[in-house]
Amino acid sequence: MNVTIENILLIGSLLLLLSVLAGKTSYKFGVPTLILFLGIGMLAGSDGIGGIRFDDPKLAQFIGIVSLNFILFSGGLDTSWKAVKPILREGVALSTLGVFLTAMSLGAFVWSVTDFTIYESLLLGSIVSSTDAAAVFSILRSKSLALKNNLRPTLELESGSNDPMAYVLTIAFLTLVINQDQSIASIIPIFLQQMIVGGLAGIGFGILSKFIINKIKLDFEGLYPVLVIALMFITFSATDFFGGNGFLAIYICAVYLGQQDLIHKKTILKMFDGLAWLMQIILFLTLGLLVFPSAIIPYMGIGLLISMFLIFIARPVGVFISLMFFKMKLRRRLYISWVGLRGAVPIVFATYPLLAGIDKANMIFNIVFFISVTSILIQGTTLSIVAKWLNVALPEKDKKLNPTDMLMAENPKAEMKEIVITADCHAVNKKIVELGFPKNAIIAMIKRGQSYIIPNGSITIETNDTLIVLADRPAVFDEVYHALKHPAPAKDFSL
């Protein structure tokens, strides 16, 4: 079937609708949503019932990079620094040393069981060395899996921050495959430049983005998410232009922004959550269309062997060695080892050898695709079971909603107070976004004269305004009064 301009929107929308409907019921049968998206793409492809012929690795790579921008940025915005801070060192160790050790051990294994050269083997190991952010975010959050002792933020931090390391290793060993005369030492400066420039750019663009978002005055609320999208792509492309790692930069930028008070932040978060899901669907559909199932069959045997080594040996080796200097119970290390989900990212990275035209590019791509599918099927379907088996899952009665999540939900709060702003109050003539309001409280409404205003971060507080403040518990109002520099009444009653 030839895809023309006239029918591409119809086909695309039908595939998107089918993916959404399939995703709605997938967990009822214990099948990860992402594998269904891949399956639908494969069924629609030239080897499937759809007959759509898509054989453009360059376009697939472009779609993959754009999609990963949204997925990583959305994941960064949702990352709680308060939750991540206690496990920051563990997360960084997993996303750097853990990825490196996984790539090296898997590469050595591939070299021993195939006719790949050492550099080709290490290239394959690098491509599948990182856990997939889309897979981890999607499966953990869709299952609402509550884990003990900061396990969940550890896993989410690792998956969101380890793609840059895998990308650098992939580009480095691809360079060595193409230029056989170069030594491994030649890639060290590239690695350092990518990580240092990427990290600094992420922080710098995060600070700049906050300033732009809060200072620029846009007439329509819907333009603020568009502004953030523009800032996201500027961060990625500018970092890449200066030789840094764009994926690392946008993730750090998003984590920083997620902790700040931003104008229309709630709208921005909701918009990016929806866009991240859309990009996951588009990415997996595209990669499903790109692969030819008939081409995978000859590599199923070696693919399964490599996949099992990755799941049961290479990943645990990377986790245990990178965490050996931290105090952590064995069952936690084992669970982190098991949540080594591979998904779309390795498949996107596998398009780089295809575009470079190296000899074994097609073989690498098909093996990587098989590894990603088996990882999602084997590990993705058993996360809850393994968590209960290792006793790292919280019992249902102990699951509690995060206070910030409570405030973001569309439900009445436990406590509400009216606070009248006097002329000598610190908040007068300040924007809401500038108040440093506690995370556990929101200004739900402002009464100004006879009018009621639904506030956003750009609203300026005026004398005699009455703030209707909601909080999840009474003690939070002490922090509210402190932020407003407003004297707390001797006796203040909840409404």
Q: Is residue 490 part of a domain?
A: no
Note whether 273 and 259 are within 8 A (CB): no
240 shares a domain with 196: yes
Same domain, 408 and 284: no
Residues 475 and 382 in one domain: no
Boundary (domain end) residue, out of 372, 396, 420: 396
Q: Does 370 reside within a domain? A: yes
Q: What is the pLDDT of residues 302-338, one digit of tens each?
A: 999 999 999 999 999 999 999 998 988 899 999 999 9
Query: Is residue 214 a contact partner of residue 225, using CB atoms and an 8 Å limit?
Result: no
Domain identity same for 323 and 428: no
pLDDT score for 253: 96
Cα separation, 246 vs 244, in Å, equals 6
Is 83 part of a structural domain of the chain? yes
Q: Per the domain annotation, does 232 fall within a domain? A: yes
Tell me, what's the pLDDT at 417?
83
Q: What's the token pair of residue 127?
A: 């491509």
| Same domain, residue pair 342 and 266 | yes
Give the pLDDT score at 54: 80
Please provide the DSSP assignment of 169-237 as one string.
HHHHHHHHHH-TTS-GGGGHHHHHHHHHHHHHHHHHHHHHHHHHHHHS--S-TTHHHHHHHHHHHHHHH
Q: Which of these three, 396, 412, 442, is where a domain ends? A: 396
pLDDT at 148: 73
Provide the CATH number for the domain around residue 318: 1.20.1530.20
Q: Answer whether residue 450 is part of any domain.
A: yes
Evaluate whether 263 touches 216 at the Cβ level (below 8 Å): no
Residue 243 backbone phi and psi in degrees, to 5:
85, 15
pLDDT of residue 419: 87
Using DSSP bridges, classify how beta strands 415-420 and 451-453 pair: parallel, antiparallel or unpaired.
Answer: unpaired
Cβ atoms within 10 A of the Cβ of 295, count? 14
Same-domain pairing of 165 and 33:
yes
**How many alpha carbons fall within 13 Å on the CB side of residue 42?**
15
> Using CA atoms, how far apart are residues 185 and 137, in angstroms rounded to an integer?
35
H helices present in 128-162, as ranges: 133-142, 151-161
- CA-nearest of 347, 386, 348, 388 to 366 is 347
**Total number of domains constituting the chain:** 2
Identify whether residues 360 and 435 lie together within a single domain. no
305 shares its domain with 328: yes
| Residue numbers of the domain that contains 305 | 5-396
pLDDT of residue 413: 43
pLDDT per residue of the chain (495 residues) written in tens, 0 to 9: 555 666 667 777 877 787 777 666 555 544 566 677 777 888 877 777 777 778 888 999 999 999 999 989 998 898 888 888 889 999 999 999 999 999 999 999 999 999 999 999 999 999 999 887 666 766 666 555 667 777 888 888 888 888 889 999 999 999 999 987 787 788 888 888 999 999 999 999 999 999 999 988 888 888 999 999 999 999 999 999 999 999 999 999 999 999 888 888 888 998 998 898 888 888 888 888 888 888 888 999 999 999 999 999 999 999 999 999 898 889 999 999 998 888 788 989 999 999 998 989 999 999 999 998 898 888 887 888 888 898 888 765 554 444 434 444 444 445 778 888 888 888 888 888 788 788 778 888 888 887 888 777 778 888 888 888 888 778 888 888 888 877 766 554 443
Contact 341, 376 (CB under 8 A): yes
Question: What is the Cα–Cα distance from 386 to 179, expressed in whole angstroms?
Answer: 44
- Of all residues in the chain, the percent with pLDDT exceeding 90 is 38
Q: Are 181 and 325 contained in the same domain?
A: yes
Whether residues 40 and 13 share a domain: the answer is yes
In a domain, 161, yes or no: yes
Half-sphere exposure of residue 358: CA atoms within 13 angstroms, side-chain side: 25
> Rounded distance, CA 207 to CA 230, Å?
15
- Whole-model pTM: value is 0.78
In terms of domains, do 376 and 456 share one?
Answer: no
Whether 136 and 228 map to the same domain: the answer is: yes
